[in-house]
Amino acid sequence: MTDNLFQPYALNDTITLNNRILMAPLTRCMADDNLVPTVAMAEYYGRRAEAGLIISEATIIRPDGQGNPNTPGLFTQEQVNAWKFVTKTVHDKGGKIFAQLWHTGRVAHPHFFEHNNNGSSDVLAPSAVGVEGTVPRMRDLNYQVPRAVTHQEIEQLIVDFAQAAENAIEAGFDGVEIHGANGYLIDQFLHYDSNRRTDEYGETPENMTRFPLAVVDAVIASIGKDRTALRISPGAYFFMSGDARDRQVFDHLLTELEQRDLAFLHLGIFDDSMVFDYLDGQASSYIRANYTKTLVGVGSYTPDTASNAIADNKFDLVAIGRPFIANADYVAKVRAGEGLVEYNAEMLTSLI
């Protein structure tokens, strides 16, 4: 029985979801060459509007944040205007949608922005520590060693996240999810493997959380806490190695986030069966033990396992990823007890 998945859920006094099934952010690379959302994207999200909440694909806050081809932005008026058609399509079908705000940090690539970033080809990160690998869908592009951001650049990044949040609200989004997970810029500040700084943004939990919390606070100041959410990855696993000291960083981060009363906190992980020694098990269990507000679980859950996890108070809402690509009518199928089309890799580029 999955009845609990279809109960309404109040995120706060501002936003109530029709059900507990969220559509997870899924990079689809369907924007045009100017990172402007397309009609196909409006159709794609509109077909999935029955989700309690759609979290958009990761959306770039400024040119040097791009690390994948044809990923949308929220930093030009043309992009904002195009997103208005997407959000209206979702709202007209009774849905709600948050924009996920993204800067990829050290896995950005100047191929995408060196001609659209005041001539700069610098890849920015907390520290000058690169990663091995190539750009998704463009395997001829190797990741580069980044340059450590300056204090002035950190302050500008905070401003740019807040401006992107304001742009999202202008574009008709119901709120934003700050992408602080999965090895991208904000997450890079939160792990010792990627943050080797020795100034007030490195070395200690208080310092390493300074920039992420400043972004959260700036976004809250711009659009309100009821419309601000955050995704985090306490277990390092994507683009970085774990370090036992990371636990102390996230202990401090969660204590601080508890006081901010966000719309929700969203776990960023591909498979929640993964365990991390320094978290004493699964990342979702670690967050739940240290954070009492609304938690979104994710990571290869089926309708049955998600229902059981919610019943067991493991989390409050569940985000579904690839099955939503394969089944635009995922919510209706689960409600009716119908079988789901199984996702395969070819669907990543073929299905709308």
Catalytic: 201? no
* Distance (Å, whole) CA 233 – CA 201: 18
Cα–Cα dist 322/25, whole Å: 10
Burial class, 76, CB count within 10 angstroms (exposed 0-12 / middle 13-18 / buried 19+): middle
Any idea how long the chain is? 352
Rounded Cα distance between 278 and 78, Å, is 45
Strand partners, 267: 232
**Dihedral angle over CA of 113, 116, 118, 124, nearest 10:** -20
The residue from 143, 184, 201, 301 that is catalytic is 184
Q: Which of 210, 231, 220, 297 is nearest to 261 (CA)?
A: 220
Helical axes 77-92 vs 151-170, angle rounded to 10° = 40
Kindly give, in sequence order, each residue whose CB lies less than 8 Å from that of residue 215, ignoring residues fewer than 6 positions away.
157, 158, 161, 162, 178, 180, 186
Closest CA to 31 of 102, 118, 119: 102
| Catalytic annotation, residues | 184
